[in-house]
Amino acid sequence: MTLHLHIGAHKTATTHLQATLIKHREQLTEAGVQFERPDHIRSLIGSGRRAAAQSRIFPSVRASLAGQRLARIDAGKDRLVLSDENSLGQCIEIFDRERLYPTVRHRMKIWRRLAAQRDTTIYLSIRNYADFFSGAYVQSIRKAAIYRPDADSLAALARMPRRWPDVIADIRHALPDVRAKIWAYEDYEALSPRLLLETTGMVLKPVQRRPMATPSIKTVSAFQAASKPAEQTLDQIAQIHPISEQNPKFSLWSATQTDELSAMYRDDVTRLRNDLGEDFLRP
C-alpha cells in the first residue's frame, strides 16, 4: 500500500495540480485510487493560526492528535493520494519569523502515523527565492491586506538563514523513512504529466487553468490602500492594473537583492541535483 503526499511548496503550481486531481476524482475512485481534497485535510488538521499552534505549546501532543485524525481518512485502498501545501507552514510565518518555512519540522510530524502504515513518497517543488518570497507575500496579504514587512525584516530574510536544502533536511528529520521527490518550479509544465502518473498511477490530462500569478506593483499598492475589509479583491484590482512595461510585476526586492537571491537558488538547485540524483526530477 502506498501514500503519495504532495506538500507544495506554496506558489509552485500546487493549485493547478490539485485542480487536476479534483477534476479526475471520479476516474481515480473507479480505478481504486483514494484522493483527498486539500480542504478535507485542512478540516482535520486546521489551517492558518490553528495549524501554526502545533509549533508552539505542546507541539508533540498537537501533532499526535492531528496525526490520529489524518489516519482516519485512510479507506484502505492500495494507493492514497493527498495534497496540502499548508503542511509546510503558512506564508505569513515566513515574514513573521524572517526565514523560510520555520515550523516545517514540527508540522510534518502530523504525517508520521499515516506514513508508517504505507510505503510513502513525498513530492515538493522549489522555486527561485526572489519570486517565491514575492509570491508568498502576496498570498499572505490576500486576507490580511494591512501586513507590511519593514526594510529590516526583508534584509534579515534576504540573508537566507534557511534555504531549500534546510527545509528538505527538516522534512527528512520528521519523516526519516519516506522517499522525497523534488523538482524546480520552472520545470513544472514539462513535468506535470509525469507527476500525475507517478502520484496516481494513471495517465491524466492536466486541466487548463490560469495560474495565480504575482500581480503588478500598482495592484498590490491599491489593494493595501483599500478599506478594511477590502471593497475589491486583489484579483479584481489586478484587472484594473495589469502588468505592463510601466507597471511591472510586484517584487519585494531591489535589483541587487534579486540577483543575490537568484544566485543562491541556482547554487541550491545544483547542490540538490547532485545530492538527490534521480529523486531530483528533470524534464
Give per-residue pLDDT as tens, 263-279: 999 999 999 999 999 99
Instruction: Say what percent of the chain tops pLDDT 90.
Output: 69
Task: Give pLDDT, residue 227.
Answer: 61
Q: pLDDT confidence of 175, banded at 50, 70, 90?
A: very high
Cis ω on the peptide bond leading into residue 59 (within 30° of 0)? no
Q: Is 148 helix (H, G, I), strand (E, B) or coil?
A: coil
Dihedral class, residue 46 (left if φ above 0, else alpha if ψ from -120 to 50, else beta): left
**C-alpha pair distances (Å), 60 with each of 56, 122, 153:** 10, 21, 29
Task: Give pLDDT, residue 144.
Answer: 66
187 contact partners, CB below 8 Å, separation of at least 6: 281, 282, 283
Cα separation, 235 vs 160, in Å, equals 30
Q: pLDDT confidence of 50, banded at 50, 70, 90?
A: very low
Q: pLDDT confidence of 132, banded at 50, 70, 90?
A: very high
Task: Give pLDDT, residue 211.
Answer: 65
**C-alpha pair distances (Å), 201 with each of 4, 8, 29, 204, 232:** 10, 19, 12, 9, 42
Question: 169, 21, 82: which is closest to 182 by C-alpha?
Answer: 169
pLDDT tens-digit series, residues 184-217: 999 999 999 999 999 999 999 999 876 678 999 9
Q: Is the pLDDT of residue 18 over 90?
A: yes
Task: Give pLDDT, residue 45.
Answer: 74
What domains are defined for the chain?
2-144+162-211+264-279 (3.40.50)
- What's phi and psi for 213, nearest 5 deg? -75, 155
- Given a contact cutoff of 8 angstroms between Cβ atoms, the answer to whether 137 and 149 are in contact is yes
